[in-house]
Structure 1
């Protein structure tokens, strides 16, 4: 199949390229735009209590809201607010409301602090556009207007809240995004120049991946509309990283094999046909594993992961097709000139380092397996200390940003949970008015919960069937202690609800509690299903039941080692309270899914070497010698690309950049190079049971059709007779 594909593409390279260009223009020109959807109901299923509470609030108390922006007032001299100051605050609040700023629905005064030094203005914005650019723009206008209105008074005013945090995050991330973008392109360019010493090869993948990206985005938009999928324009940023990651990998897999075939004496076009024929199966299997891993995300209970899974799968599928058609067509059209001005492609180097590593694995596979496995196990122990944090704002920008100053000052001036209080909604189950006489006792029980600063009955709806109890926690809404406290509030709210009523607990801490529950559910569901499906892909590739088990086990160890190392560095060494709660899922996306590529490439090459008549140990050594440079190059580029995220200057991207780059390095330089080949060498022929994947090809197996209609010699994995190898394994 892959040889036929390569042959067709190489015979008709111009038509192949034209077909891609026509497809790109047609898809990009006609594709619908990706909708923007960031309401909480698309994030969590409606079955979760926090979402039920939010829906109840909209029906029973449509005028109630969680402020999107908070103006915090204090005297410039740090003293208590005077009567004149309070009049100025009331004037500013009224003036802001009269300005009718876009997205602003309501501007109301907030509660003063108990010490009399602070006061608030609360701003409601359209919740349907939360986190969107239009609300960031509104926060920018609000911040400028409130400062202008306070000019000439003795007041110092700062704007905080979620909209202001989004504004500060955007400002903080501009420099980081520029550094990441520049760093990514420079790393790919410089590394490819060092490897191939050819400017055309350095620039080519960037151009081709750009074309693939445009097509992928268009197809994702089509699929979103056709199948009524939830999608979000914010997926585009992560798509670029995935496309450059897998696209560069597949480009390197193909180019290393193409160069190898040229060195073996193949005519240029035949070299490309042979390259696609031999490495195509490994690329397709690697892409299949990644696609399966991404599609498993549709089992997630979190809306944004369900959005992400199909989109990423489509992107990888397009990249796979490009890797087997567009790249071979372009390279075969250019021919060996693609390596200009370097002449090193004409002669195979000794590969002394990888040959030495291969001999080491061949001589001592048990020691190699134990040492590499021990490294992974020791690093994995760090996972025992993993703690998730939901405080994304403080991790994504410096503490000196205005919104973070507001958050810190509010925690000192008010209860830490005052900025995002918890609401308990008590509703009658029979539609009759609630007994107001029971409100006092119920509020007292809520206020007595460990971690609650105070609780009070805030309001009752017009029909008297739902009461809103405002519960202020002692802790900031996103902290572990707040999430634990809201769990206790739920227990008391449910158990103490009077007969004929039911209670729902809402608010940010309640949402974080449900997200935590949903993420833990996804870890128990998505990861095992993905692992099982990847094992099926590996089993089909290798025609084996045994090999997929230890291959997926090595991937699991790599995941654990990555998470453990990240915990030790950021939680233990740097004293972070926890790691971003989505970090394990992000590691799953990039470390497990994409990192599996290197295992597949190595094991596929090991099988080829075994089919040339080598015993298991020798096959492992030769696989490392020949596939090692490809894995090293691809792993280095991908790891270094993600490492540029650490230049962004905020904790979240630093954690993410380190974890993903470290995980890919582990996948390439520990698992694929040492752990997998040494285990395969130790297990021997049994690794391919019940099939005979390592069986030596004989003429009886039948010749494989060549591109020109002739026959490819049956014995060599690359179309070479094993006799053409000298005892050291070098091509003659």
Structure 2
């Protein structure tokens, strides 16, 4: 089958047909379907419809409609305290918004109808800050919200006489203003990703091109993988755009950014796996068609296996309950699937057309071709002595001292893995944005000038709680500072809501841990008042409750998806290698390097870059990528050892397998790690953390697990590495003595 496929792509006419099919497919899809960037939805919900905080928000909207809507928080601030003129400006803006409401605008606090002392009660204790909420209808488009915020800024500038939104927050005595809250954060997050796809793609393409030129020193060869990746992207983007337009999937800027990096990184790797094998065969075969057939037969199995491993691992994210994970599944798996197909069809066709010239100026030739070339130049042919490469020395080391290599690798990775036990996690997405982002600046002003819990009070809604001492029970919770008087619903007086202000940062881990205590206190109060079903009569909403639900879903997804990914990879390895032993240690080594990458990444992020915590989504993101991509390199190397074992002793097969695959896997690993490191250039901390940890994991797989640990374990196990398969016997004449 492999011979027939390779012969087809190397055929005189079929290779051109293959190229034309890809060109036509990319052109038709690009013209007829929208690019995926046009279908981004950056405010898609992450929590499930039945998450407790989501249900609480629905109850608030239904029974307390005056508090419903998405708020924009206008944060007014002046060092030394707001003046009477400042309050007059704030009241004038409120009056303008009340008399000429913006599109989709909701309720306002009528500050313009209040006397000055009443307005001042909304200010911070030191009188330097006032937070003015302006609500907008649910599901309002981000673009409309942005237009509304620009109008508010224009109104404020006209009233104040200068632009308070351009005044620095710190070190300025003039009145400053910032827009924060959900509306401000949504707008700023969208602006952060404005043109990020193009910038990220341009930076990734340039980086990959430079690395290919430095590694292979061939201008033609450097562009061939990029052509393959470019066509794969040209097909993937409109397909994803079409699927998103039909409502089948949801895509956001973060998913597209990481998909771009993955496509160029992993896609270049697959192309290099084939190209390197083709170059090796060109030194043995004078016919490029014959060389391509041999290269396809030798590399296609490993490439297909590697591709399916990544596709299935990424597709397992479909099992996620947390929206951000689920939105990754289809874009990532489809991109890798199309890239794998391109590396097995388009790349062989291109290499068949260009042939040996692909490697100019270092053109691979057979020994006979070199002799003929020397004769034409009138020179005597001198066989070039093969230089020992780093891969040769590594191969010799792992077969001569396998126990030493194994113990050293496990010790290094184990020490780094132990550092992962100290990782602290955060589920506050705002903290992942730049500190100078306007909405975060406004949030910081609120944080510095109001009581910690007033940043985001917890809202407790109860039914039939008249006789219960709810306020007293809630106030008795250790993390609670105070509880407001109950607000009775005008829709149904049976419902009442309490605003619970915490005594600690409402975005902290301790605050999230307080949510179950608050729920328990409310249920206990209802139970003591005689309620038979208190659990069904309490709803808790607010930012802290949402973060708690996020942690619950994230922990659930970790427990479900991680074992599924390991199971899928184990099945594929068993089918491909037919060895239980090899499957176990191949998976075990990448798991160890994954935990070690988390540990080293945390040491760098915490001690060198000053991060107090990493985003709670990072472990699963890094796990899926590192386990799947790390197994790629293992598969490519171990398949070389497995093939060579059929014709030579195992130790020689290990030595030659490590030497043969060392160069290409090292090059591929450097390129893949560098592309993930590009994410660290974006001004979003979650991508910085993900890019750094993933790049570290790829480098560990490239320079520790693949060249040292896996072949050393294989050498120690010997024939047992093939169990339950039986190793093919090798003739004595083919035995090689190792010095």
Given the two structures, how large is their TM-score scaled by the length of structure 2?
A: 0.87
SS in 1 for 2:177: strand
Distance 1:558 1:53, change over 3 A: same
**In structure 2, C-alpha distance between the alignment counterparts of 1:175 and 1:697, rounded to whole Å:** 59
- Give 1:360's match in structure 2, choosing from 397, 417, 421: 397
**In structure 2, C-alpha distance between the alignment counterparts of 1:562 and 1:201, rounded to whole Å:** 32
The answer on whether the counterparts of 2:200 and 2:257 sit within 8 Å (CA) in structure 1 is no
**In structure 2, C-alpha distance between the alignment counterparts of 1:133 and 1:541, rounded to whole Å:** 50
The more displaced of 370-379 and 305-314 is: 305-314
Task: Report whether the alignment pairs 1:19 with 2:6.
Answer: no
**In structure 2, C-alpha distance between the alignment counterparts of 1:612 and 1:284, rounded to whole Å:** 24
Q: How does 1:249-264 map to 2 (within 5 A)?
A: 249-264=269-284
Encode CA deviations 1:415-438: one digit per residue, 9 max, x unaligned. 2232322111112xxxxxx35454
Structure 2 residue aligned with 1:684: 718
Structure 2 residue aligned with 1:384: 421
Provide the alpha-carbon RMSD of the alignment: 2.9
Structure 1 residue aligned with 2:728: 695
Encode CA deviations 1:653-682: one digit per residue, 9 max, x unaligned. 332221111011011111111111111111
Question: By how many angstroms is 1:209 displaced?
Answer: 1.1
SS in 1 for 2:580: coil
The answer on whether the counterparts of 2:205 and 2:264 sit within 8 Å (CA) in structure 1 is no
Q: How does 1:362-511 map to 2 (within 5 A)?
A: 362-398=399-435, 400-427=436-463, 434=464, 436=466, 438=468, 441-456=469-484, 457-497=486-526, 498-500=529-531, 501=534, 502-511=537-546
Q: How does 1:637-676 map to 2 (within 5 A)?
A: 637-648=671-682, 651-676=685-710
**In structure 1, C-alpha distance between the alignment counterparts of 2:195 and 2:606, rounded to whole Å:** 26
Distance 1:226 1:272, change over 3 A: farther
Distance 1:145 1:327, change over 3 A: farther
- Give 2:342's match in structure 1, choosing from 303, 322, 328: 322
Structure 1 residue aligned with 2:379: none
The answer on whether the counterparts of 1:217 and 1:236 sit within 8 Å (CA) in structure 2 is no
The answer on whether the counterparts of 1:2 and 1:276 sit within 8 Å (CA) in structure 2 is yes
The answer on whether the counterparts of 2:201 and 2:261 sit within 8 Å (CA) in structure 1 is no
Task: Report whether the alignment pairs 1:244 with 2:238.
Answer: no
Task: Report whether the alignment pairs 1:530 with 2:565.
Answer: yes
Kindly tell me the number of residue pairs found equivalent between the two proteins.
691
The more displaced of 624-633 and 64-73 is: 64-73
Task: Report whether the alignment pairs 1:599 with 2:634.
Answer: yes
Q: How does 1:161-200 map to 2 (within 5 A)?
A: 161-169=181-189, 180-200=200-220
**In structure 1, C-alpha distance between the alignment counterparts of 2:416 and 2:631, rounded to whole Å:** 19
The answer on whether the counterparts of 2:284 and 2:365 sit within 8 Å (CA) in structure 1 is no
Encode CA deviations 1:484-529: one digit per residue, 9 max, x unaligned. 2223222222322344451011111111101101111111110011
Distance 1:389 1:334, change over 3 A: same
Question: By how many angstroms is 1:470 displaced?
Answer: 1.1
Question: By how many angstroms is 1:181 displaced?
Answer: 4.3
The more displaced of 2-11 and 275-284 is: 2-11
Encode CA deviations 1:47-86: one digit per residue, 9 max, x unaligned. 3211111221222223313654211223x4513543x543
Question: By how many angstroms is 1:196 displaced?
Answer: 2.2
Question: By how many angstroms is 1:629 displaced?
Answer: 0.5
Question: By how many angstroms is 1:282 displaced?
Answer: 0.4
- Give 1:72's match in structure 2, choosing from 71, 75, 90: 75
Consecutive unaligned residues in structure 2, runs of 5 or more: 112-121, 165-173, 368-383
Question: By how many angstroms is 1:471 displaced?
Answer: 1.3
The answer on whether the counterparts of 2:79 and 2:128 sit within 8 Å (CA) in structure 1 is no
Encode CA deviations 1:221-253: one digit per residue, 9 max, x unaligned. 455677944555653322211211221010110
Distance 1:499 1:52, change over 3 A: farther
**In structure 2, C-alpha distance between the alignment counterparts of 1:148 and 1:476, rounded to whole Å:** 36
Distance 1:199 1:107, change over 3 A: farther
Question: By how many angstroms is 1:109 displaced?
Answer: 5.6
The more displaced of 513-522 and 299-308 is: 299-308
Question: By how many angstroms is 1:125 displaced?
Answer: 3.0
**In structure 2, C-alpha distance between the alignment counterparts of 1:99 and 1:342, rounded to whole Å:** 72
The answer on whether the counterparts of 1:606 and 1:619 sit within 8 Å (CA) in structure 2 is yes
Structure 2 residue aligned with 1:717: none
Distance 1:240 1:651, change over 3 A: closer
Task: Report whether the alignment pairs 1:277 with 2:288.
Answer: no
Encode CA deviations 1:9-56: one digit per residue, 9 max, x unaligned. 11110111111222223333444676555666x422223211111221
Consecutive unaligned residues in structure 1, runs of 5 or more: 428-433, 699-721
**In structure 2, C-alpha distance between the alignment counterparts of 1:128 and 1:567, rounded to whole Å:** 37
Distance 1:697 1:272, change over 3 A: farther
Encode CA deviations 1:395-426: one digit per residue, 9 max, x unaligned. 3203x443333222212222223232211111
Structure 2 residue aligned with 1:128: 139
Task: Report whether the alignment pairs 1:291 with 2:311.
Answer: yes
Q: How does 1:567-582 map to 2 (within 5 A)?
A: 567-582=602-617
- Give 1:55's match in structure 2, choosing from 41, 54, 58: 58
The answer on whether the counterparts of 1:44 and 1:301 sit within 8 Å (CA) in structure 2 is yes
